[in-house]
Amino acid sequence: MKDNLDREINYMRISLTDRCNLRCSYCMPSGYNNFFKEEEVLTLEEIYTVAKIGSELGINKFRFTGGEPLVREGIEELIKKVKGLPGVNEVAITTNGILLPEKIKTLKENGLDRVNISLDSFREDRFKNITHNGDVKKVLKAIDMAIEYGIEVSLNVVIVKGKNQDEIMDFVRFSEDKGIKVRFIEIMPIGKGKDFIGMTSGEIEEVIKEERTYIEEETRKSNLRGPALYKSFYNESKGKTSTIGFISPISNCFCSDCNRIRLTCDGFLKQCLHWNSGTDLRAILRGEKTYEEAKMIIKDTIYNKPTHHNFGEKKNNVDIRFMSQIGG
């Protein structure tokens, strides 16, 4: 369906949980345990109902996020049910990869198409520091297994000054060697992210251009999957090409092409990552509204998406929660 700005909204991101098995420093502080209570989180059946309504309204891509979505019991069956909805052509997850090797076979069998794996360092000691004791070897194993099972893999990388900016070219080489997309995401001033200084997409691109030949750019509108702007770079010495995505919500606002809506794990249909506007679907799903009434409320919420975010301005109606609570 289209919103009030004639943007085609065909992509829903659904957070399954605010819990995670890691504590990445810019996402969730070490020792944090202020999680939603079990009764506050949507049941899998409630999530499926929202997805079903979404598919009837024209949503054809669903991505399950968290927290860490793979800590939510029943995700495999949920993926199977959502992938089976009429009109749905893609189901994906965003994960830190730690639990992926033990679940990937069933996920593939149940219809998982794509996986975005968050990885900010290849160095074991640094990865442990960033994630508060995560094991990078498990993530690298997950990447190889996903490729082996024929699941499309992309890496999500957040570059933070003073943390990992010296690994930019390591990720470019990884893209060349594995034949997968690497996406550099500008750190967003949300939750703990406000405490760190990231690099802009332009700054990262300049680092890459010092060692690689720029080939071509894919227009964002030809990439219907999301906000990444993909560029190709050629390694002349090895004859290999990397595909690098840039997600630039701060330096290059892409709101005019936004095609997504978000559902938090506690049932808030969130119109924009930045703003706290939207609809409490948990109350609606557990109240006396009929299915068709709920459908009209969801349609109206999507239709009235904000024009754009204002990360650079101080406003009263911004979302102050951690990314793990909103859904990454």
Q: Which pLDDT value is given to residue 226?
A: 67
Q: Which pLDDT value is given to residue 97?
A: 98
Dump pLDDT digits (tens) for 12-48.
999 999 999 998 877 776 777 889 999 999 999 999 9
Dump pLDDT digits (tens) for 41-80.
999 999 999 999 999 999 999 999 999 999 999 999 999 9
Taking residues 262-287, report their average pLDDT.
92
Dump pLDDT digits (tens) for 221-270.
444 556 789 999 999 999 999 999 998 877 666 677 889 999 999 999 99
Taking residues 145-153, report their average pLDDT.
97
Does position 317 have pLDDT exceeding 70, yes or no?
no
What pTM value is reported for the model?
Answer: 0.90
Residue (of 254, 231, 235, 238) closest to 307 by Cα position: 254
Q: Which pLDDT value is given to residue 67?
A: 93
Cα(2)–Cα(220) distance, integer angstroms:
18
- Domain annotation for the chain: domains and CATH numbers: 11-326 (3.20.20.70)
Taking residues 273-293, report their average pLDDT.
92
Of the ranges 253-257, 258-262, 284-288, 322-326, which one carries the lowest mean pLDDT score?
Answer: 322-326
The answer to whether 80 and 107 are in contact (CB under 8 A) is no
Dump pLDDT digits (tens) for 171-195.
999 999 999 999 999 987 666 666 7
CA angle 185, 189, 193 (to 5 degrees): 75
